[in-house]
């Protein structure tokens, strides 16, 4: 079996502080949404760390220089609906020119399997870095289904950004897609019998959108 890419846990103090506020059941919907956006900005910095650079000749007010700029085709943020949208709010501010893919999956509450209902992606996926985003890596079924669909559509440079990961989800994603690097703010203890991450933060989508 191919060795899987490592999991990066972003242990920056600001990330950890904001994550604690996010976990707190007393944080309001507005606070939760704002924190997800702020965490996306901070983790976005890490997940884009190795994007390829080229140079361009520019004129500063003082002289001309060869200055670094992002190379290649625009990257793609692939939002796993609906909770992925909270992260997109921050990531699209960080990289305004990024293309946004939407992948509609819901979790069957009995089987915990991902069921697809929507898939819309930019062209030329094979030539773009694709960053799949979903706040929670629980069983791993949703992200694996999302990566399956993206690979089928041509993507070959994929990484995954989340806020919380369960060991079970990491194992599943590494097993099915060892070429997909995982970037997260924390790895929690386990999943409970309902598929929730423990200690976790509850249902990310419901807390973000004020639903139940
Ligand atoms: N999805 C969530 O929103 N929360 C969990 O704990 C697991 C999956």
User: Range of 141's domain?
Assistant: 7-50+78-209
Task: Tell me the CA–centroid distance for residue 195 and ligand 1, in Å.
Answer: 7
More confident residue, 72 or 159: 159
Say if ligand 1 is within 6 A of residue 36 CB.
no
Query: CB–CB of 132/124 below 8 Å?
Result: no
For residue 2, is it within any domain?
no
- State yes or no: 179 annotated in a binding site: no
For residue 125, is it within any domain?
yes
pLDDT digits (tens, 9 = 90+) for 145-158: 999 999 999 999 99
State the average pLDDT over residues 80-102.
Answer: 96
pLDDT above 80 for 113: no
Q: Which residues are catalytic?
A: 107, 111, 203, 206
Task: Tell me the CA–centroid distance for residue 58 and ligand 1, in Å.
Answer: 47
Query: CB–CB of 203/181 below 8 Å?
Result: no
Tell me the three state secondary structure of residue 126: helix
State the average pLDDT over residues 58-81.
Answer: 96
pLDDT digits (tens, 9 = 90+) for 125-149: 999 999 999 999 999 999 999 999 9
CA dihedral of residues 152, 93, 70, 144 (deg, nearest 10) = -20
For residue 136, is it within any domain?
yes
User: How many separate domains does the chain show?
Assistant: 1
Query: CATH no. for residue 106?
Result: 3.40.50.2020
What is the rounded CA–CA span in Å between residue 41 and residue 87?
8
pLDDT above 70 for 102: yes
b/e map 144-157, b = 16+ CB within 10 Å: bbbbebbbeeebeb
| Predicted TM-score (pTM) of this structure | 0.94
The complex's ipTM?
A: 0.96
pLDDT above 80 for 112: no
- State yes or no: 208 annotated in a binding site: no
What is the rounded CA–CA span in Å between residue 180 and residue 109?
26
What is the rounded CA–CA span in Å between residue 83 and residue 44?
16
pLDDT above 90 for 15: yes
**Tokens (6 digits) for 87:** 């992260």
- State yes or no: 159 annotated in a binding site: no
């Amino acid at each position: 079996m191919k060795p899987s890419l490592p999991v990066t846990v972003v242990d920056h103090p600001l990330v950890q502080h904001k994550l604690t506020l996010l976990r707190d059941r007393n944080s309001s919907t507005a606070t939760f949404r704002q924190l997800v956006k702020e965490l996306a900005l901070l983790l976005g910095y890490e997940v884009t760390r190795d994007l390829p650079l080229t140079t361009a000749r520019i004129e500063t007010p003082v002289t001309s220089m060869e200055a670094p700029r992002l190379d290649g085709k625009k990257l793609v943020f692939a939002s796993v609906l609906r909770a992925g949208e909270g992260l997109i709010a921050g990531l699209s501010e960080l990289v305004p020119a990024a293309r946004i893919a939407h992948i509609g999956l819901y979790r069957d509450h009995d089987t915990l399997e991902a069921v697809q209902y929507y898939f819309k992606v930019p062209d030329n996926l094979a030539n773009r870095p694709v960053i799949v985003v979903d706040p929670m890596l629980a069983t791993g079924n949703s992200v694996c289904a999302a990566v399956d669909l993206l690979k089928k559509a041509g993507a070959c440079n994929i990484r995954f950004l989340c806020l919380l990961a369960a060991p079970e989800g990491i194992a599943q994603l590494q097993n099915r897609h060892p070429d997909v690097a995982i970037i997260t703010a924390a790895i929690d203890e386990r999943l409970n019998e309902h598929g929730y991450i423990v200690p976790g933060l509850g249902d990310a989508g419901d807390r973000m959108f004020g639903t139940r």
